């Protein structure tokens, strides 16, 4: 063998050894690096029933301002160090850009803290967190906040979708983007043979898990109670109340009870108010920075952001979004589904959540262990950020490490993210 061949052989041997030393799978994402994008605080308001609950008379900007104040207070972060805030919102005109910048100022962030809003439908809160994480990762900012907020009490309704032009109406796939989600979910349930009995059983379990979790105080750590003015619908008297828990969780819910509710979208349909996500109000926020920054500032690290995915599906099949997005996120993270401890998958409709869990082959005992949006609500822009606090709190309580958040997205998309508890 020539000297050149010997050197090449040695190089290949070293390369093979180096590759063998690279951590794979779960081990790789459990490792720690100064450049990790970490979460040092994640919290939310309670989620309350749209038009009926504790926040029915509270503006979305006020919910957000309170959430920001609570984030500053709990994390002990110097607000002047926060360079950018991204807020997910779906229903407010312009995604609330003006009032949410004002909310940040009211909360105590200085004028030097930039604020922007975004709307990617039901994944807006997660997209806000991911955008901040990526801005930190690429060096654009050092510290930021990803947040989400929605007041469905004040802004939910037909006015949330603009009229389509003739150009859009004359394109077959494009016009499907405006088909109401309940209608297309009803069709999907029928086409894929997801019976009402199966949907009601899933919904009942969501309510039962949420009821048990609330009674055990499992949500207290992630919730920032809020004093608000509330008008009693019976007496029209204005009162000051403290909202400190999710008020949409129905006590004693059973499959039999759900079976008595009339279908919402089709006379002989399977989807109704009890097996679909609740119309709700709420806000959530997540503080992010590099591990090295957190350690320098003495910030307590809750966990880290690993990676995310966003995908498109046919508009009429928007409910399958998690089924397509989750494998992409897992591949990016280099892990398999069996290496995930907890799944927080948004329960937009029991039909689509049941189908995604089944098709992905997930262990249902790991999915939404404390219930989901069917039980406590889905404030559209808030949910993606809310899931982060819920996930980390449950991972911490159970001593587990790896979690995934995911949701379907209106008009035919899906999003997912992988997180690790510290």
Question: 99: exposed, middle or buried (C-beta count within 10 Å: 0-12, 13-18, 19+)?
Answer: buried
Please list the residues that pair with 408 across neighbouring strands.
414
What is the C-alpha to C-alpha distance for residues 281 and 154, in angstroms, rounded to an integer? 9
What is the C-alpha to C-alpha distance for residues 101 and 30, in angstroms, rounded to an integer? 36
The residue written with tokens 């003739």 in the block is 166
Q: Is 408 annotated in the active site?
A: yes
From the list 41, 129, 378, 382, the catalytic residue is 378
From the list 41, 122, 129, 353, the catalytic residue is 122
Beta strands in 300-391 (DSSP E): 303-312, 342-345
Q: What are the two backbone dihedrals, phi and then psi, of residue 280, each rounded to the nearest 5 degrees?
A: -145, 165
Tokens of 84: 């950018």
From the list 129, 356, 382, 408, the catalytic residue is 408
Beta strands in 265-385 (DSSP E): 280-290, 303-312, 342-345
Residue 195: partners with Cβ closer than 8 Å, 6 or more residues away: 270
Euclidean distance between the first and the last CA atom of the chain, given in angstroms as a whole number: 51
Q: Is 41 annotated in the active site?
A: no
What is the C-alpha to C-alpha distance for residues 365 and 119, in angstroms, rounded to an integer? 32
Q: Is 378 annotated in the active site?
A: yes
What is the C-alpha to C-alpha distance for residues 252 and 207, in angstroms, rounded to an integer? 8
Entry field: residues in the chain: 422
Residue 144 near residue 82 (C-beta atoms within 8 A): yes
Tokens of 339: 């290496």
Q: Which residues are catalytic?
A: 122, 378, 408
């Amino acid at each position: 063998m020539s000297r050149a061949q010997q050197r090449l052989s040695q190089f290949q041997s070293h390369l093979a050894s180096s590759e063998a030393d690279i951590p794979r799978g779960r081990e790789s994402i459990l490792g720690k690096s100064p450049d990790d994008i970490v979460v040092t605080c994640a919290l939310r308001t309670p989620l309350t029933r749209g038009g009926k609950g504790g926040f029915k008379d509270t503006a979305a900007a006020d919910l957000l301002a309170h959430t920001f104040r609570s984030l500053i207070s709990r994390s002990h972060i110097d607000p002047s160090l926060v360079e950018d805030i991204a807020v997910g919102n779906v229903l407010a005109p312009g995604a609330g850009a003006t009032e949410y910048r004002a909310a940040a100022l009211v909360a105590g962030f200085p004028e030097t803290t930039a604020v922007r809003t975004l709307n990617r439908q039901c994944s807006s809160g997660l997209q806000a967190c991911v955008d901040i994480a990526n801005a930190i990762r690429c060096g654009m900012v050092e510290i930021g906040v990803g947040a989400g907020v929605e007041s469905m009490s004040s802004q939910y309704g037909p006015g949330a979708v603009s009229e389509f032009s003739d150009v859009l109406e004359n394109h077959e796939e494009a016009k499907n983007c405006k088909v109401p989600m309940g209608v297309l979910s009803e069709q999907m349930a029928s086409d894929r043979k997801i019976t009402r009995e199966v949907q009601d059983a899933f919904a009942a379990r969501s309510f039962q898990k949420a009821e048990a979790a609330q009674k055990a105080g499992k949500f207290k750590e992630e919730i920032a109670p809020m004093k608000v003015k509330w008008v009693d619908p019976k007496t029209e008297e204005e009162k000051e109340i403290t909202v400190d828990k999710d008020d949409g969780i129905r006590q004693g819910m059973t499959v039999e009870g759900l079976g008595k509710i009339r279908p919402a979208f089709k006379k002989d349909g399977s989807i109704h108010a009890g097996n679909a996500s609740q119309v709700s109000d709420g806000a959530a926020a997540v503080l992010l920075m590099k591990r090295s920054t957190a350690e320098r500032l003495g910030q307590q690290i809750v966990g880290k952001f690993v990676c995310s995915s966003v995908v498109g599906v046919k508009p009429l099949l928007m409910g399958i979004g998690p089924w397509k997005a989750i494998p992409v996120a897992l591949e990016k993270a280099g892990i398999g589904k069996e290496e995930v401890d907890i799944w927080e998958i948004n329960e937009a409709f029991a039909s689509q959540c049941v189908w995604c869990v089944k098709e992905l082959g997930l262990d249902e005992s790991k999915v939404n262990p404390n219930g989901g949006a069917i039980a406590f609500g889905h404030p559209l822009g808030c949910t993606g950020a809310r899931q982060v606090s819920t996930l980390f709190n449950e991972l911490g309580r159970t001593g587990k490490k790896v979690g995934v958040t995911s949701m379907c997205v209106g008009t035919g998309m899906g999003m997912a993210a992988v997180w690790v508890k510290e």
